[in-house]
Amino acid sequence: MTDSIRIVGLNKAFASPDGGTVAAVRDINLEIGAGRLVTLLGPSGCGKTTLLRMIAGFEEPTSGDIFFGDKRMNDEPPNRRDTAMVFQSYAVFPHLDVFENVAFGLRLRKLGREEIARRVDKVLEQTGLASYARRSPSQLSGGQQQRVALARCIVMEPRVLLFDEPLSNLDAKLREQMRVEIRELQQRVGITSIYVTHDQVEAMSISDEIVVMNAGVVEQVGTPHAIYARPSSRFVADFIGKANFLTATVADGETVEISGVHLPVAEMPARSPGETVAAVLRPEAIHLSPDAGPFRGTVRRVMFLGNIAEYLVEVDGVGSWIVDSANPAEAPLHRVGEPVFLTPSRHALHLLP
């Protein structure tokens, strides 16, 4: 059984050295559906780990309420919240083999030997560790040790699973592999999960929903696609992926004008013609051409990144744009100093509030 989570007016303030207080989390209101994986995403110091620790019971809120289902959890100690947390450090017991590491919590609950064996064997199979059951942690890679830590949580069959930047200590290739495994496993077992990370690619790849936090407040909540395509603020647009920020003038109910060029907007908010607005244009939504396009510019920087080529283009009358061209191995790269033409994809512009 798994729970939905509801957070109402949650605040947390810490004492500061000067005798005052510092607000780490301010007026957080969230609803997380049962069986969903929701990521708390933001830069260091934004309050995401403090929020996770309050949900786990390791920090007491200054004010506000936390509900698991219909039950208010504020006064429940961590051991009675039926949560399990996967930490950044693997925290596996070096003197116990994989099986005993995973069985540790079940033995504390004094379950029968057969029940322990059944549950441990099932989880080891789910996490791809069945053939490593009798190995010691020193014989495992970092990714395998993190799987042990995950298995040890899942075997307890918690109502809520919490992740505190669990992949930070892994190299890039292993992080990519592990986030896929965590997502697939979470979907199989169906446990409500909250995942803290500062890595936007990680958040985009595993989440049902993303909660973007900044300076203790929630900036935006939405699906990965909505957060990326329709950011609600400049901070969100800048933190999630790369973005070009443009100043435009509203032309009519469907288009804006930038340096004499009219561009359609997919969702035009209520704005008056002639009004100045801020717009976001993603780098991959711009096509470069040597001979045709509504904007003209000059290449100032080229970075070959394998799957994409990233260009910095000085656009006449507009400013500098970042442009990402996919599959650059198929054609020669544009050179620094080369004149180019730029065409934004239709409805690629998003206006910020």
| Last residue in a domain, options 188, 215, 237 | 237
With 90 as the cut, is the pLDDT of residue 30 above it?
yes
Non-local (6+) Cβ contacts of 20 within 8 A are none
- Looking at the chain, the whole-number percentage of residues with pLDDT higher than 90 is 70
Q: Tell me the CATH number at 321.
A: 2.40.50.140
Average pLDDT over every residue of 245-252: 93
CA end-to-end span of the chain = 40
The answer on 233 and 256 residing in a single domain is no
Dig out the tokens for 167 from the structure.
């992949």
Residue-wise pLDDT for 64-77, tens only, equals 999 999 999 999 99
Examine the pLDDT at 152 and tell me if it is beyond 70: yes
Query: Each residue of 97-118: pLDDT tens digit?
Result: 999 999 999 999 999 999 999 9
- Whether residues 118 and 213 fall in one domain: yes
50 and 25 Cβ atoms separated by less than 8 Å: yes
> In the predicted model, is pLDDT for residue 124 greater than 80?
yes
List Cβ neighbours of 343 (8 Å cut-off, separation of 6 or more): 286, 287, 289, 292, 293, 294, 295
Are the beta carbons of 299 and 311 closer than 8 angstroms?
Answer: yes
Q: Which residues contact 124 (CB under 8 A, 6 or more apart)?
A: 98, 99, 102, 130, 132, 133, 151
Report the distance separating Cα 79 and Cα 274, nearest Å.
59
Do 306 and 194 reside in the same domain of the chain? no
DSSP label at 168? T
Asked if residue 236 has pLDDT above 70, the reply is: yes
Of 180, 213, 237, the residue that ends a domain is 237
| Domain at 172, CATH number | 3.40.50.300
The pLDDT, as a whole number, for residue 128 is 87
Which residue carries 């400013």 as its tokens?
319
Q: Do 205 and 259 share a domain, yes or no?
A: no
- Please check whether residues 133 and 282 belong to one and the same domain: no
Domain count for the chain, please give it. 2
Give the domain-ending residue among 237, 270, 287. 237
Note down the domain range covering 10.
5-237
Same domain flag for 82 and 10: yes
pTM of this structure: 0.89
* pLDDT exceeds 90 at position 336: yes
Whether residue 123 sits in one domain with residue 44: yes
- Distance in angstroms (rounded) separating the CA atoms of residues 319 and 247: 10
